[in-house]
Structure 1
Amino acid sequence: MSSTLAGAFGVAALFVAVLALVFAIQALRARTVPVEKTTPAPLPEPEPQPVLPEAKPGTVKAELRRLGKELEVTRGEVKETLQHLAIVRYDAFGDTGGKLSWSLALLDDHGDGVVLTSINSRADARTYAKEIKAFKSESKLSPEEEEAIETLAKEAGPTVD
C-alpha cells in the first residue's frame, strides 16, 4: 500500500472520529437530563452567608456582587462540560506497528461523556463511540477504553461532585 493511500486512510479515520465526537456531543446535549442525577452525590451544607445590605446600582460593590453571582453560575456550568481527556494508543493487530489504534475518553466532572475508539489495520480503520455515565458504560468496553476511563476516574479522586 502506498504511503499516499495510507495517509488518505488516516485522514478519513480522523474525519470519522471527529464526526462521531460531534454527534456524541450533540446527543448528550439534546438529551433531557433531570437536574438531579439517579445517584446524586451528597452536597456539602452551604455555609451561612451574612445578610448584606443591598448595594446601590452602578456602584463597585453592586458590580462585584453581580460578578460573584455570575462566577458561581459559570462554575456550575463548567462542571457539565467535556473537559477531561485521556488517550490510550496501542497496536490492535500483531502485523501493524506504530500504535496507530487509539481510545479517547472525553468526560465531564461527573464522569459523563463519550469514549471514542479507532482501530487501525493494514487494510482499513474502524471508529466507535460509546456513551459513558458516571465512569461506566452500558456497552461492552475494550481494555483500552476501560484504561482511558480509569485514568480519568483516578484523576477525579474518590468523590465526584
Structure 2
Amino acid sequence: MSSTLAGAFGVAALFVAVLALVFAIQALRARTVTSDKLTPAAAPEPEPQLEQPEPKPGTVKSELRKLNKDLAATRGELKETLQHLAVVRYDAFGDTGGKLSWSMAILDNHGDGVILTSINSRADARTYAKEIKTFTSESKLSPEEEEALETLRKESEQP
C-alpha cells in the first residue's frame, strides 16, 4: 500500500476516533444535565474562563485535546504533500501517433511541485523535469505544460 494511501487511511481513522469521542462526551453531558435537573436548585455555575486549565492526563477531555492537536498537525502536513495531478497527452511530432508524449504537473496546495514531460519520437524518448513555485516556473514551459499547470491552478481556485 502506498504511503499516501496509508496516510489517508490514518487521517480517516483519526477523524472517526475524534467523532466517537465527541459523541461520547455529548452523551455524558446529556446524562449529567438530566441528573442535575433531578436535584434541588443548585448554585449557579461560575462564568467560563477564557483559558481553561489543562485536563488531568488520561481523561477523555485530555485525550480529545491531544487528538485535536494531532489532527491539526496532520492537516498542516497534508497541505505540503504533492497531491494534485494533471496530465496532458499529445503527439509531439507529426510522424508519430497515439499521443505517446505527455506533460504531468504534480503540485501541493501552495502550487509548489514539479512538471514532468516525456517527448516521444520514433527513435527515442526524452524526459524533462521543471520546478514549479506558486504555479510559476523559472524555465520556459511548453503549451502542454502550461495547460497542465493551468488545470491545477483552476482547481485550486474552486471552493
Indicate whether the TM-score tops 0.5. yes
Work out whether 1:80 is the aligned partner of 2:80: yes
CA deviation string 1:83-110 (max 9, x = no partner): 0000000000111110000000000000
Q: Match for 2:138: what amino acid?
A: E
Q: Match for 1:143: what amino acid?
A: P
How far did 1:71 drift?
0.7
Q: Cα RMSD over matched residues?
A: 1.3
CA deviation string 1:43-90 (max 9, x = no partner): xxxxxxx42331110011100100100111111111111100000000
Corresponding residue of 2:91? 91
Distance in 1, matches of 2:119 and 2:136, equals 21
Q: Which has the higher helix share?
A: 2
Corresponding residue of 2:138? 138
Corresponding residue of 1:54? 54
CA deviation string 1:100-141 (max 9, x = no partner): 000000000000000000000010000000000000000000
Identity %: 78
TM-score by length of 1: 0.66
Aligned residues: 110
Q: Structure with the greater relative contact order (CA < 8 A, sep ≥ 6): 1 or 2?
A: 1
Distance in 1, matches of 2:123 and 2:100, equals 13
Distance in 2, matches of 1:88 and 1:143, equals 10
Corresponding residue of 1:117? 117
CA deviation string 1:5-41 (max 9, x = no partner): xxxxxxxxxxxxxxxxxxxxxxxxxxxxxxxxxxxxx
Q: Please say which of residues 51-60 and 117-126 is displaced more in the overlay.
A: 51-60
Helix, strand or coil for the counterpart of 1:129? strand
Helix, strand or coil for the counterpart of 1:75? helix
Unaligned runs of 5+ residues in structure 1 are 1-49
Corresponding residue of 1:153? 153
Corresponding residue of 1:41? none
Distance in 2, matches of 1:64 and 1:123, equals 61
Corresponding residue of 2:46? none
